[in-house]
Amino acid sequence: MRRKPEEQQKGAHSFGVSPEQPLTPRVATDRGSDIEPFLVSGGAVSFIVSVNPAFDPRPDGVQLVRSLYVPSGRTGFLKQLRVAPFMPPIFVDPWETSGLTNASWRVFGGGVGAPTRPGGRNGVWETPFGWEGYFDPAVQGALAPEWTWQLRFIRGDIARLRSRRPPFSVADPSSWYLVENIAVPAVAYVSGIPGAAPAGAWTPERMQVLQGDELSSHVVIPQDTTLCLFARWKQQATQPRGVLQTGEGLSAQSYGQTEFPLLPSFGQLHGYMQAADREASSENALYGWGG
């Protein structure tokens, strides 16, 4: 049965919308206590290496994995985080794939001159800071690989800071600073990782958070601030080795070529924003760990 005009108007008003006024976007000051979720991800699966000019972030590098800008008039809340380094296929346990003598898994999608990339499976380091054991202590000067991630607050929108610099180029060191996703030599951050750590004990952390897991937290992000997720590493190329069972017992055997244990990293930030001047935002900053 066809509804009467007065019934149609009544139905529209019941949803708080006047039939004479179309819906219009609202600005931060009139959004009240609305929650705006965010989910952003980033990373890189291979290193960019250039001999001429010299650009090699593999032994000593930094990566701005992902960032999120909270504009003026808003307060941000980071609720979940994931971050971990990728793993070269050559370091995957040979017995878990095709066996030590089968080379099909050693260079995934590679070849002469191709960059080292993670494999389709076992592509990330799953053992907590397991890369730290991938070095040969018998080699003089050999050091355990180091990898950490950290959160930093940078005042303002880093997209505007980046716009003042030239587009990324391996030939221009001034373009390496605050470039997202791409792993760069640590010299790009000669003064250290920029910004300030969130309030509390947020020091560089050496334990990864895999994509199947999550780090649940409650980090309050001030207005007009960019939240940055950085990865930092130092490492040396090492010789992959496996252990064979022979008639005489266990025998260690080298295979393949030397390789850096750590590839670049991936990361994900999940949370929400609210208007900064609302009571709900103040309550969430104080009591909102689970919400």
Query: What's the CA gap between 128 and 152, in Å, rounded?
Result: 23
**Within a domain: residue 10?**
no
Query: What's the CA gap between 195 and 193, in Å, rounded?
Result: 7
Whole-structure pTM over 0.75, yes or no? yes
pLDDT of amino acid 109: 54
**Within a domain: residue 3?**
no
Query: What's the CA gap between 81 and 65, in Å, rounded?
Result: 12
**Within a domain: residue 59?**
yes
Q: What is the pLDDT of residues 257-282, one digit of tens each?
A: 899 999 999 999 999 999 877 777 77
Report phi then psi at 160, rounded to 5.
-70, -35
**Within a domain: residue 17?**
no
**Within a domain: residue 146?**
yes
27-30 long-range contacts, CB within 8 A, separation 24+? 28/71, 28/72, 28/73, 28/74, 28/275, 28/276, 29/73, 29/275, 29/277
Quick check: 119 pLDDT over 90?
no
**Within a domain: residue 24?**
no
**Within a domain: residue 6?**
no
Query: What's the CA gap between 257 and 238, in Å, rounded?
Result: 8
Alpha-carbon Rg for the chain in angstroms: 25
User: Taking a C-beta distance cutoff of 8 angstroms, is the pair 122, 89 a contact?
Assistant: yes
Domain count, the chain: 1
Q: Give the confidence band of 108 by pLDDT, cuts at 50, 70, 90.
A: low
**Within a domain: residue 42?**
yes
Q: Give the confidence band of 32 by pLDDT, cuts at 50, 70, 90.
A: low
- The two tokens of residue 109 are 């999608």
Query: What's the CA gap between 63 and 180, in Å, rounded?
Result: 7
Among 47, 24, 38, 145, residue whose Cα is nearest residue 81: 38
Q: What is the pLDDT of residues 165-222, one digit of tens each?
A: 999 999 999 999 999 999 999 999 999 999 999 988 899 999 999 999 989 999 999 9
Enclosing domain of residue 200: 30-287
Quote the mean pLDDT of the chain: 83
